[in-house]
Amino acid sequence: MQVNATLPPQALADVLRTMPKAELHIHIEGSLEPELIFELARRNGVALAYPDVESLRRAYAFTDLQSFLDIYYAGASVLLKEDDFFDMAMAYFRRAVADGIVHAEVFFDPQTHTARGVPFETVMRGLTRARETAQRELGLSSAYILCFLRHLSEDAAFETLEEALPWREHFIGVGLDSSERGHPPEKFARVFARCRQLGLRLVAHAGEEGPAAYVRSALDELKVERIDHGVRALEDAELVRRLARERVPLTVCPLSNVKLRVFDRLSDHNLGQLLASGLVATVNSDDPAYFGGYLHQNFVETFAALPALQVREAYVLARNSIEASFAEASAKARWVDRLDAHFESFH
């Protein structure tokens, strides 16, 4: 296939599903489907504020990031035992393989659980067992990134880091998530400096609800290697030039951006502009159980809403995702070869 080809919608959807790709912005707690929430609630004797699955789904009408987080943390309340974390992660890993994902770098929020009295060890045992099972049974490569909750203090982040260090071999990096407004990246400069000393990979949410200036401070103050979201970077022309020049990846989440009102409609999304500006944009699902779809759904709906995105952009986005990952160079080269062969097979 010529990468500048134009395909009818169904043929393009098939390419989008089957092309090898990585997912770099997925919160494992955000993959917790309502059905599994109710199953775990029954298993653990947890009372929910909603009578049934459909009532919970109807509550997913968010006005901003905070309105989502309120329900997100309530849903996480059913996660109490090692098997709960295992079941949640395995459900995502199975969907990832179905969506053509060859490598996933998965965020987890230990503070969401330890604050409820769930031991850090319980979280890590369940997640680690799922990752190993997915590699063995599904052939899926994956890694975990520990996220600090930015609405909490930097001291709390340091405490979480210390708790995590005995599990250092089971996560590859740290990130920064939760409420962006009023919590600039520099609030966590010291703990990110410590993580850098420890050899951890560094990423941070910035430029979603927060301004382009947060993207700049994530780069300058936290020294991150990737920006999660980053769609508001286009508000700063010099920042765009820098991101392009330094090849800083952006892990963009289109359906999430619409669900949380960053854009009113998917047809307003700036993914095409990000690519046209020479930025290393990728497509990801963020919190797919809450935002209307996993990775393939994000691709299909975004490409349908933005007709300028075609086969060439599909290839670029998939290749960006692989090259922006923290996987070993040999694995990335192998996946890129598979990606090239995949597109050549569609002559």
Q: State the catalytic residues.
A: 208
Characterize 130-161 residue by residue with b for buried, 16 or more Cβ atoms within 10 angstroms of its Cβ, and e for exposed. bbeebeeeeebbbbbbbbbbbbbebebbeebb
Q: Which two tokens stand for residue 233?
A: 């970077």
**Letter for the amino acid at 218?**
A
Read off the DSSP letter of residue 268. G
Calpha distance 91→121 (Å, rounded): 21
Calpha distance 220→112 (Å, rounded): 28
Read off the DSSP letter of residue 190. H
CB 229 within 8 A of CB 207: yes
Considering only CA atoms, give the Rg of the chain: 19
Q: Please classify residue 329 by burial: count the beta carbons closer than 10 Å to its beta carbon, then call 0-12 exposed, 13-18 middle and 19+ buried.
A: exposed
